[in-house]
Structure 1
């Protein structure tokens, strides 16, 4: 398994297809990390749509999107499920943050969070406005996730 990228270096760039739920409408489009320079991005890698811990994590982030927006940040969820799965997941739980699909696990491998039989390690990477990786947390077991308060404090420390 590849190691996670080092802090202080440019975050590995990528383009992945994703969905964004706005009200009841779903938009499908590509998301490119380097195209979002100028604001911090939280990359939240999660193992699976509609699994208990992942649902709690994505709902917690969704419920506090305003806190992220207040400090100029976005949250992108990334998992190996396809767009249809993400769409159902977002609609079922009212998730407004982009959910990106990485079924080939290309980006998961770039960030060194893949697991052979289990998919991926629950992980969060904070990319600053210039595209540099500033903070990361890679879970050993993935039964817990980083809180909104922890993430927003890390983002605020970049200013």
Structure 2
């Protein structure tokens, strides 16, 4: 059984590579900065593309608030690089081979695909908000921005 991260939990330590082959270390690269991590099933699928583009279209709102955005799924670096370039994604997409990190976060599968869930972390790596909706990918950025306005 997978333990599900809840609001108030500290995220697990992980190191993954982004679409450019650079390491991202959760222990150091989330400290001191509010971070949005969204897990999504597949590069180039319809709902996932809408979700990524919604974060892209809201990216200035996030950066103006000093917030970094990260997308994570099990696809390889090359797939992420192609997806990011094709859709002009200005944020990091992290490759999670074997879906180890998605399992550490406790993101539930939907149908036969890995899940779609978004987490907001405070500057100490603690989950302060989460949103899950498998079929409404574009809603993730909007829901996070609404939450951040209330905080």
Would you call these one fold, judging by a TM-score over 0.5?
yes
In 1: Cα distance, 2:109 partner to 2:39 partner: 12
Alignment map for 1:8-157 (pairs within 5 Å): 8-19=8-19, 27-35=20-28, 36-115=30-109, 118-139=112-133, 142-145=134-137, 146-157=139-150
Distance in 2 (CA, whole Å) between partners of 1:149 and 1:119 is 23
CA 1:156–1:128 in 2, change beyond 3 Å: closer, same or farther?
farther
Unaligned runs of 5+ in 1: 20-26
Structure 2 residue matching 1:120: 3-state secondary structure:
coil
- Paired position in structure 2 for 1:23: none
The list of structure 1 runs, each at least 4 consecutive aligned residues, that deviate by more than 4 angstroms after superposition, is none
Gaps of 5+ in 2: none
Higher helix share: 2
Cross-structure match for 1:22: none
**Range with bigger deviation, 104-113 or 145-154:** 145-154
1:5 aligned residue: 5
Q: What TM-score, normalized by structure 2, do the two folds share?
A: 0.90
TM-score by length of 1: 0.86
Decide whether the 8 Å contact of 2:131 with 2:143 is kept in 1. no
Q: 1:117 to 1:83 in 2, by over 3 A?
A: farther
Equivalent pair of 2:14/2:25 in contact (CA under 8 Å): yes
**Contact between 1:17 and 1:28, CA under 8 Å: does it hold in 2?**
yes
